[in-house]
Structures are given as structure tokens and as C-alpha cells.
Chains A and B, each alone.
Chain A
Amino acid sequence: MRRISAIAGIALAVLAGVANAAEDPGKATAPRMEFVAPRPGSYKLQRIQHVSDAKLLDSSGRLVSLSALTHGKITLLTFFYTYCVDPLGCPFAHITLAHLRDRVRGDGALVNRVRFVSVSLDPTHDTPAVIANYGQEFAIDPKFDWRFLTARGVPELLPVLDDFGQDVSVETDENGRATRTLHHMLKMFLIDAHGEVREIYTLAFLQPQVMFNDIKTLAQEAG
């Protein structure tokens, strides 16, 4: 298993390495919001794409169908890895989600209609046990549906990333060797109860009030 993971990891490293250009984005900044969020239901969220099915592992090690977690409820899905330390990376995404979770929990009409799904980008490290431990911090309310998922291996993760258009790359050192850094563009996907992506948030768009109104817009649309 370790060897398979290593091979898969190398494959992803090579794949990602050649896919990523010489990036130097410099200093980051938190998203700003200098406007009043449009009222829920006053606008339409477009159907951007359908989510394909895949088999992933939940935090107890059970094999689950992704489609089961992108249907039936309004879903906010994001990718992360547990040892990410960037304050404007995965931790920022999960802080934003935690804030939204509290907003949703406070709305009786929404609380049972919304779920969050966090999918690990590093199945070789983020085993079910690791994501279970990581998720404890966020899944504070057993009544709120927040799933942490991983994959059996990188080959099973790659089609999911490809389907979502989620880029991931592995940094290489001066000698072309993979370092211990993963790169990805922070994206969060708002999926309706029929498995259609209706909004995508990158960092500049992680504006909690807008996101909450988007969730309510989808809820109103579904009736």
C-alpha cells in the first residue's frame, strides 16, 4: 500500500509539476466586501456543471459515493489537506465554513437542508483516522452534516479533481525533486440538491454574507 501510494504520489507530483508555471503571487490578502449582498432570491445562480460520481472514503473508512453527498441537500464542497498552515488557505476556508455553519444552524429552515463536504488533497497522509481527528474541531454539532472525505489513493482522487477543475501541484526543488509543499487554488463549490454546481468561490469571493444568501437562494428555488 505504501508503495502504491508512493508511485501514485510521484505520478501526481510529475503531473502537477509540469502543469504549474513559474508562479510568484507575492503577498496575499483576505477577501474584501465593500457592498451590500444582494437579497436571497433576487438573482439566479447559473448551472455551471454537473458533479460526476466517485468513490471516496469517509472518516470512518467506509467507501462512499460522492454523488450521495452531492444530492438531496445544498452542499458546500471544498478541498484541503490537514497539515496546511497557510492562514489564507485551508484554515481560512474552514474558518469561513465554520462561520457559515453557525449561520445555517441558526436558521431553522436551513439547518437540515445544508451539508458541507471537505475532501482531502493528500490521501497518502490524510487517512480516515487523520481526517476524523481533524474534523472533530469543526463537526461540533452532530445534527449538522459536515463530512470529511479522503480517497483510497491518488489515482482515485485525480478524476475528482479533474471533474471539479481543482488544480493541485507539488512543488519541486532546484534539482527537480518534489518538496513537501502542495499548491492549489482555493476553491469552494456550491452544489444544489440535484448535484449541479451553482457557484464557485475562490478566495476573493469568500464573502460569508454572499455565500449565505446564495445558500438561501438555492433553498428558496427548491421551495
Chain B
Amino acid sequence: MASAYEGARDNANRGGITMRLHRQVIWGFCIAAANLFGYAAHADETCNSPYMAGLIKGQEDFVHVWTLGVPGVGDESDKLVTIDVNPASKSYGKVINKVSVGARGEAHHMGFTDDRKYLWAGGLDDSKIYVFDVGTDPSRPKLIRMIDDLSAKTGYAGPHTFYALPGRMLIGNLSNVADKGGVTGLSLYNNKGDFITKYDNPTSAIKGVTGDGYGYDVAVNPAKNALLTSSFAGKNNYMRDLGEVVKDPEAMKHFGNTMVVWNLKTMQPEQILAVPGAPLEIRWALAEGQNWAITATALTSQLWLVSRDAQGLWQAKAVATIGDPAKIPLPVDISITADAKGLWVNTFMDGTTHYFDLTDPQHPKETYSKHTGSQVNMISQSWDGRRVYITSSLLSKWDKKGKDDEQFLRAFHWDGHELTPAFEIDFAKEKLGRPHHMKFTANPSRLASLAGQSAH
């Protein structure tokens, strides 16, 4: 059997590389470029960092769920749960692997490294970061590293967003160790897990708008040299019972009301945008001619569009409401379609999944909604938009109580008109914990077949 390198050499020596091979080579080398079509942020296949290899545009094989450990439930530890989601598999819709980290630190979000071989997952309470190898065998992720120097190196706490930059990981944090409030910043590590530097979120005025220093999501647009960040709250709020927080007027003052536009090269904040009500997830539309980003505000229940005006300044404006803002439905995760013409929004309090038509991003229109659970938080869709996955948990102290404290992953088919249930994992019944962030991987054995599809 000829080695790949020998095969490549033979082919090159013949000087007759076939068109099929030509296309395959292009396919192989276009990974980075093609990801320009990705939509920057996290939560699903359309929302990964655009500098990451290997978007899965076909059928994903596995969904990895970063799951909060619950006292008295199973091993009580935070864990990475892997679910087989390929309908052709015998274990479709089943949990096939779980990796406990041996601690309970408020598991929350995850992000792939740029080569998609490793998944970084953070704890909002203990500020630890776990690195899982999902490239060697995505059906059986392995915990290979634990990074615990974030707070010591930066003074920040609550690593939230893990955003792949070339060869490194940019982390958006939520809090700090000094007063556990929301003033925080960004931290930068190399892919080996070594700390590089930190960047404080702005707290002074820039162009007349004062920063609150709060942090949440991170999203980059390389063509604009722009990095956008959003703002949520510190540990004092997110590690406190939600019912208590909303009844405490002082606590309610401590939510983020800004977004920041950073110069990505210099990492200097250039503009602060007033976006009241805790703007959370950010999604750029990166396709050429689509120079905008969108976010949802948790407390004011609005969609906000961030775009450049004629003078070249970034502006943010509310473009739609989500549900009835007076009832505080609490929009949480959002998921943009690959063509940036549609947006899923989950509202936690009323357990509703909304679909907005983004054809005109200045005027999003809700065209569909469905009650998908007693509480719903994260939402991830496949690249083709045909499969939608939802998990239930928001934060351990914010999840509902009693019978409304459902803990699940629900998978749906989406035909453009209706969400149809595909399968469900009951995380409480299976003694797993509270399911939060999801990431997709695909079985490497399919590489060849997808290449064939790509070539023809």
C-alpha cells in the first residue's frame, strides 16, 4: 500500500494531477478561507470562529454538551457529554461517552482551537479551563489539560467565550476576583495553554460614551479589523439565585449596557456602543457586502444591529423586539443561519424558540415560534439549517425550580416551516446534570466520502 506521501509524490512526478485531485487539493487548502463564510461567535456550526478549520456542512456525527454537575446527581461533576446524532448510526440519539472533570465549577461555554482538534471549556465559578482532545477520536473525547491560572494571571474570573484566533485562544470573561462584579476583560492564551496577555475592558469614555467594563461574548471580523464584545454581569449576579437578583434593585443595576468595538490588530477599544439590557451573543454576517452584526439583549428583549454609518463609525440600534419585553422573556442564545438570512432565538423564561427572518437585517420579522420546553437556553443549528438542537440550562442558580427544572437536550428537524422532534436526552433521568453549551464534531472516517462529494 502506497503511503499518502508516496501517492502524492507519484502523482506529482507524473505531472498529471487529475481535475478531481485538483479540486480535492483546493478543498483541502481552502479550509481557512472558506471559514470566512462562517459566522463569528459560538454556539453552533454557523457560529464558530472564522479562523477555525473544518466546518461541518454535512451531517454532524456527534454533539458534545458541556454539562454542569449537580449535587446528588450521578457523579456530581461537570462533564463533557457526547451524543451520537447521526441518524444512520445504531446509537443515534444516545449518550455514547462522558468525561467528568472531577469538580463542579459552573460549566458553561466551549470553543474549538483553530485546528478544531481541541475543545476548551470553562467554569464560570471556579474559573478553570479544561482542554479536551476531540480530534483524535471525537466519539471519545479525552481531557488532556486543565488551565487554572486565569485569575492569578489576570484578576479576571468567569471565562465565558472561547474564540479561536490563529494559534491562540481569546477568552471573553465575565467577572473579576476582587469584587466579583462585572468589570473584567479579555485574556489571551496560546494553543499550548500558556498565558500570553490580558486586555481590560474600557471603563472610561470613548467618543462620549462611557464603558462599563463588563464582558460576555467575543466576535471578530477580519476584513474590518474589528473585534466586538458584549456585556452581561459578574459573579455577584450570575452565581446568585435569579429570583433574588430580580427583586434586588441594587443588583439589577449591575448588568452590562454596552458593546465595545476594538481594533483587532492593536487590541485597543475604539468605540463604545450603548446597548442597554445586557447584550449577549454576537453574530457577524461575514459574507461580502454583509457588514453587520446582531445581538440580543437579555433584559430588554430586543435584537440590536451593529453596523457602520456613512462616516465609518459603528452604530448600534434596536431593530426588533423578542416576545413581549414587558414580560421579560429573557432571550438567551441565538443562532444565525449560514446565509445570515435567519436567526433562531431562545427565550428562557417562557421556554420558547423563535425564528426571525433576517432578509432585511434592519427590520427582522418573527415568522415562527414554538414552545420547546419549560426552560430553554442554548440553540445550535447544523450548517444546512435542517437540524436544530436545544438545551435547557442557563446557570445553576438561574434555572427554574421544581417541575419546571427540566434538563434536556432536544433535537429537532426544521423544514423551514415547523420544528419536528427528532430525539431527546433527559439529562436528569440519565443522571448527567444540567446541559449547557453544544459543539459538533464529525467522524474522521467520513473524510474520504465527503471529499468525494466535494470533488464531484
Contacts and interface: CB of A to CB of B under 8 A. Distances in A.
Contacts of A16: 4
Nearest to B8: A180
Interface of A is mostly: loop
Contacts of B54: 20-23, 25
Nearest to B189: A48
Contacts of B252: none
Interface string B252-293: 000000000001011110000000000000000000100000
A33 to B, nearest CB: 6
A184 B4 CA distance: 14
B36 A204 contact: yes
A17 B447 contact: yes
A133 to B, nearest CB: 12
A46 B186 CA distance: 14
Interface in B190-218: 190-192, 194, 196-197
Interface string A1-39: 000011111101100111111111111111111110110
B7 interface: yes
Nearest to A183: B28
A170 B51 CA distance: 20
Interface residues of A, number: 82
Contacts of A125: 5, 8-9, 12-13
Contacts of A98: none
Contacts of A186: 29, 31-33
Given A21-B54, A84-B25, A172-B447, A180 B4 contact: yes
A108 B196 CA distance: 33
A10 B8 CA distance: 12
Contacts of B266: 38, 42-43
A27 B9 CA distance: 26
Contacts of A43: 263, 265-268
B447 A23 contact: yes
Interface string A134-177: 00000000000000000000100000000011010111111111
Interface stretch (B98-106, B110-118, B323-331): B110-118
B11 interface: yes
Contact of B37 (A29, A49, A175, A205): A29
B26 A28 contact: yes
B33 A21 contact: no
Nearest to A14: B4
Contacts, number: 288
A197 B3 CA distance: 32
A42 B270 CA distance: 14
B227 to A, nearest CB: 12
B223 A183 contact: no
Contact of B53 (A87, A164, A167): A167
A122 B8 contact: yes
Contact of B17 (A81, A85, A170): A85
A89 interface: yes
A141 B84 CA distance: 56
Contact of A202 (B6, B166, B448): B166
B309 to A, nearest CB: 15
B315 interface: no
B136 interface: yes
B450 A23 contact: yes
B34 interface: yes
B222 interface: yes
Given A25-B27, A169-B447, 19 more contacts: A21-B56, A21-B442, A22-B56, A23-B53, A24-B58, A25-B31, A25-B33, A29-B36, A35-B225, A43-B268, A47-B196, A48-B167, A165-B167, A167-B117, A180-B11, A181-B21, A183-B29, A187-B32, A205-B51
Interface of B: 1-13, 17, 21-22, 24-37, 50-51, 53-58, 61, 114-117, 135-138, 165-168, 188, 190-192, 194, 196-197, 222-226, 263, 265-268, 288, 441-454
